[in-house]
Homo-oligomer: A and B are copies of this chain.
Amino acid sequence: MVSIKDVAQKANVSTATVSRVISKPEAVKEETSKKVLKAIQELNYQPNVLARQLRRLETKTILVIVPDITNTFFSKVLRGIESVAVSNGYKVILGDAGNDVEREEEYLNVLRQKQADGIVMLTARMETGVIEKFSVDYPLVLACEYIEGSTIPTVSIDNVSSARKATEYLIALGHEKIGTITGPLNVVLGKDRLKGYTQAMARHNLSVEPFLVQEGTFTFDSGYNMMMKFLALSNPPTAVFAANDEMAFGAVKAVKSRGLRVPEDVSVIGFDDIEFSAIFEPPLTTISQPTFEIGTKAMELLLKLMNEDEITRNQYILEDSLIERDSCTRNNA
């Protein structure tokens, strides 16, 4: 292994000078610099980053935890994070929790052990106390998911109002019997999207009978199964709000499997606007989140946190938008 000493020896200077050539070139004479650069070239020297990090007590690396890398929604947010990170000299490493809360928690050790300077979490399913406490000691930003009533810096959309918007869209189309397939109700996203649905129904004096609310798990299969439950009712809903696109796909599939059509027989609206929603048949009407912007904003916040800059605001709510495609239509019952 060729180290800084070898370079110093070859160039006939001290290791301090070599170090300076690399990280503060203006402090060394042109001539010396050349000598050193030549030695570096000839030896094909690459500094050992660990040593630098140890000495500087910083890694210029941030960690992003995603609940499930398989979900393309998160990869887009990741792209946003990355773009800001690299342009500020930070490396991004990715921790995939594989939908396992424990693994999510384990990743926090990466910070505790000084292998990253900050963290962006696209999930917040572990115990609230743990995160809160952690964020006191380490730079942490939540994105997409969040914790109710917490002051941890957070970037997301307003899920309640987005869900309300989606539901009101169906109401505006004349639907009255509207079902919802929720996400898991032990995570905020699930809860808030249900809340938005309930609010919309209430505002328009539509009754939310218990059987109109089915709890899913954000998966295709759960969407399929819950829709099957709706269809088994003697008087099924004419429209359904699914709390994410995967479940919406499942719901549509279920409708079709019964020989019915979307949107003619049942309107379905989703949430997230993942890649596939436009390709799906029918193209899915859904709520689009500004994924890339969520990522960039989150990373900008994290940078401030790591620099110990003043943060004027902790919660950033970005604008979503409703993408009208072909999975919803007027109620003609």
Contact = CB atoms under 8 A, between A and B. Distances in A.
Interface string A60-97: 00000000011010011011001000000001011010
A298 B70 CA distance: 20
A77 to B, nearest CB: 11
A78 B95 CA distance: 11
A25 interface: no
Contacts of A48: 54, 113-114
A135 to B, nearest CB: 16
Given A94-B93, A114-B48, A279-B253, A70 B59 contact: no
Given A96-B82, A98-B79, A113 B47 contact: yes
A78 B93 contact: no
A57 B54 CA distance: 13
Interface residue tally of chain A, by bracket? 35 or more
A218 interface: no
Given A113-B47, A115-B50, A279 B220 contact: yes
B114 A50 contact: yes
A4 to B, nearest CB: 12
Interface string A137-166: 000000000000000000000000000000
A311 to B, nearest CB: 23
A220 B51 CA distance: 45
B46 A113 contact: yes
Pairs A-B, 9 closest by C-beta atoms: A49-B113, A94-B94, A93-B93, A46-B112, A50-B54, A70-B75, A69-B75, A48-B114, A281-B281
11 contacts: A46-B113, A49-B114, A49-B115, A50-B113, A50-B115, A69-B94, A70-B75, A78-B96, A82-B96, A253-B279, A276-B276
